[in-house]
Structure 1
């Protein structure tokens, strides 16, 4: 299904002095789509039209630091509490009492999980695409296998140098991550890639996006409290098995004491960018879960 951008409304809302851009389309129960790293709202180009056609109202933001949203300075601005409060503000700005679902991929999933912990009253369902529960990710980072995949997270802790290297050769590493890592030929076209390049080139965007990783390695309220809060809402996890960034062990459902109502669907012929590789399959799973 092709995205008709003439049917999208570009809107802004503000929270604590940070202006957030989002696109909105459709009418009906609210679905919030949270993109990953290093993406933007446009990464949901296959899901937005399917959800609208099925009778849902969709909000897909540029998360803070990305594309047309503000890029506050400092690592603390990208702490989990700030990112989840942004999602709450988006739902409240929409006028809806709650979201029928919050859907997150990669870093969007890294925000969606704690959002469900902190604001359970603001969502009915949670959908995760290639994004482990925070407790599982913290445990995995103690293993050699995941450390080999996550080396860049530690590299990003160095000031300034990561920005210089990522910007080299017209963002070659970012271009490779969103295009060359996919499994379906043509999953990301040159026209698509131009949208990403435009977003990455926004002033302050590169440091802001890397600051997500820098903030994640600082003490957070979730870590200080020991075991994360329980997620009682129904959860659907969709996982592309050819993920070069996340170990296969992370696909398993979290401890039932942390999330007792989780269904996991593995897609064997898809990459970390499962919604690019198998958009029709992802859309069907998503819509079946929402019904």
Structure 2
């Protein structure tokens, strides 16, 4: 079994990034989501290395060992895509396959849309590509779901990260469980005066795919950077809408794959509609894989099935 190695790499975006990596061969970037880090790809790093690929999972801007600037304005989609493309440069490659889960998926789709010549293929887990809407998204979400909708709640200064930082072990335990296939939850609505963690149920027992040691690793990885950087990604939703006007309705042209869990609250509703219509804006969609009984944490909940789908997609690229 390939070993996972760690080092710091200076992205040409100017960000010094911690990466976990394994194997050699064509480059596959693995971009984590919220609230995660490189560790969410622990199963894929070794499987992709064994299949003949150089798998690299960075801690993205603001996260874990990478950390990032304090200014919330430094977390736009252009910064995030710049970090990913700059990491391809720093690793000495011209192109890569970019795989993203949760928040990492919009970064992967964005890289494929903005810089298709650098992307051999793109895979989105849990979050399909969604074409740019007709109005700023936070206002739309506020009108549809109210101030308590979690993405609207995250716009508040200081409050969300204070909630997450209060007891980080409880945060990871409750958040990871609440969006899992075992919990089958809905997208959180935070009550007035409450916090995001409050609406995530405490599990009676952990799912088989998640151990106390896994939670301890997440706590250790977040020891220095905390949650302000990760929450800052949400604070740029409207700014991202403004910055992407030039790509309004632009297609994502590289070969693509989508993987989702059929019990994932994030992949339901409008996201499910977007997934069903992916080929409208992703013309080289090679497949859509729905994992039965799987929740939001696809590559952690169902590593064998995700690995199989990824390797089949990769082997089909020229």
Global fold match (TM > 0.5): yes
1:62-89 CA deviation, whole Å, 9 max, x = no partner?
0010111131111111000000010011
Mapped contact 1:11–1:24 kept (Cα < 8 A): no
Mapped contact 1:79–1:220 kept (Cα < 8 A): no
Alpha-carbon separation, structure 2, partners of 1:220 and 1:272: 24
Question: Deviation of residue 217 (structure 1)?
Answer: 2.6
Select the residue among 237, 246, 260 that pairs with 2:283.
260
State the match for 1:195 in structure 2.
Answer: 217
State the match for 2:76 in structure 1.
Answer: 79
Equivalent runs, 1:1-291 vs 2, <5 Å = 6-99=3-96, 101-135=97-131, 142=140, 147=145, 151-170=149-168, 172-183=170-181, 185-203=207-225, 205-225=226-246, 227-251=248-272, 252-254=275-277, 256-262=279-285, 263-291=287-315
Mapped contact 1:18–1:70 kept (Cα < 8 A): no
Secondary structure of 1:70's counterpart equals coil
Q: Taking structure 1 as reference, are residues 143 and 40 closer, same or farther at Cα in structure 2, changes over 3 Å only?
A: closer
Mapped contact 1:65–1:208 kept (Cα < 8 A): yes
Q: Taking structure 1 as reference, are residues 73 and 54 closer, same or farther at Cα in structure 2, changes over 3 Å only?
A: same
Alpha-carbon separation, structure 2, partners of 1:190 and 1:71: 28
Q: Taking structure 1 as reference, are residues 138 and 212 closer, same or farther at Cα in structure 2, changes over 3 Å only?
A: farther
Secondary structure of 1:230's counterpart equals coil
Alpha-carbon separation, structure 1, partners of 2:230 and 2:176: 15
TM-score (norm 2): 0.81
Mapped contact 2:77–2:240 kept (Cα < 8 A): no
Secondary structure of 2:80's counterpart equals helix
Matched length: 286
Alpha-carbon separation, structure 2, partners of 1:35 and 1:18: 17
Secondary structure of 2:131's counterpart equals helix
Question: Deviation of residue 244 (structure 1)?
Answer: 2.3
Secondary structure of 1:217's counterpart equals helix
Residues 51-60 or 260-269, more deviating: 260-269
Structure 1 gap ranges (5+): none
Mapped contact 2:12–2:89 kept (Cα < 8 A): no
Q: For the aligned residues, what is the CA RMSD?
A: 2.7
Secondary structure of 2:94's counterpart equals coil
Question: Deviation of residue 273 (structure 1)?
Answer: 0.7
Question: Deviation of residue 57 (structure 1)?
Answer: 0.7
Question: Deviation of residue 11 (structure 1)?
Answer: 3.0
